[in-house]
Structure 1
Amino acid sequence: MKLITLTLAGLLAASAHAAPLLNLDPISGNLSGLPGSTVGWGFTITNTMDFLVVTGASFVPVPLSSFGTFTDFISTGPLIVVGPAPESATITQAFNAITLTGIGAFHIVPTAAGSVSGTIVINYALFSVSPNDPSFNPDIDLLVPDGALRATASVTAATAAPEPATLGLVAFALLLIRFTPARR
Structure 2
Amino acid sequence: MTNIFKLLAAAGASLLATTAHAAVLTLTPGVLAAQPGQTAGWGFTLHNDDADNYLVITGTEFSLPPLSSFGSYVDLLGPRGLLVLAPQASLSEGYDALLGTGLGEFRLDAAARGRLDGEVRLHYLLSTVDPTSAAFDPDAHIVSFDASVSAQAAVQAVPEPASWALFGIGAVLALMVSRRRSA
Match of 2:101 in 1: 101
Give deviations 1:38-61, integer Å, cap 9, x for gaps: 011111111142100010100013
CA distance in 2, matches of 1:62, 1:73: 21
Aligned length: 146
Change (3 A) 1:33 1:164: closer
CA displacement, residues 26-78 of structure 1 (integer Å, 9 cap, x when unaligned): 2xx11110011101111111114210001010001346442100000111114
Q: Within 2, Cα distance between the matches of 1:164 and 1:67?
A: 24
SS in 2 for 1:140: helix
CA deviation string 1:106-149 (max 9, x = no partner): 00011111111111000000000011111001111011110001
The structure with more radius of gyration: 1
**8 Å Cα contact 1:54-1:124 kept in structure 2:** yes
Matched, 1:56 2:67: no
Determine helix, strand or coil for the equivalent of 1:129: coil
> Which residue type is aligned with residue 45 of structure 2?
T
Whether 1:23 and 2:26 are equivalent positions in the alignment is yes
Amino acid in the other structure paired with 2:85: V
More helix by share: 2
Assess if the C-alpha contact under 8 Å between 1:63 and 1:116 holds in 2. Answer: no
Cα distance in structure 1, aligned partners of 2:95 and 2:28: 8
**What's 1:145 paired with?**
145
Unaligned runs of 5+ in 2: 1-16, 170-183
Secondary structure in 1 matching 2:139? helix
Percent of residue pairs identical: 36
Where does the alignment leave 5 or more consecutive residues of structure 1 unmatched? 1-13, 169-184
1:155 matched to 2:155? The reply is yes
| Runs of 4+ with >2 A deviation | 61-65, 161-165
Shift in CA distance, 53/164, structure 1 to aligned 2, threshold 3 Å: closer
Q: What letter is aligned with 1:20?
A: A
Report SS of the residue matched to 1:31.
Answer: strand
> Pairwise mapping of residues 17-96 of structure 1 onto structure 2 (< 5 A)?
19-26=22-29, 29-49=30-50, 50-62=53-65, 64-84=67-87, 89-96=89-96
Alignment match, 1:179: none
Q: TM-score of the superposition, structure 1-length normalised?
A: 0.73
| Superposed CA RMSD | 2.1
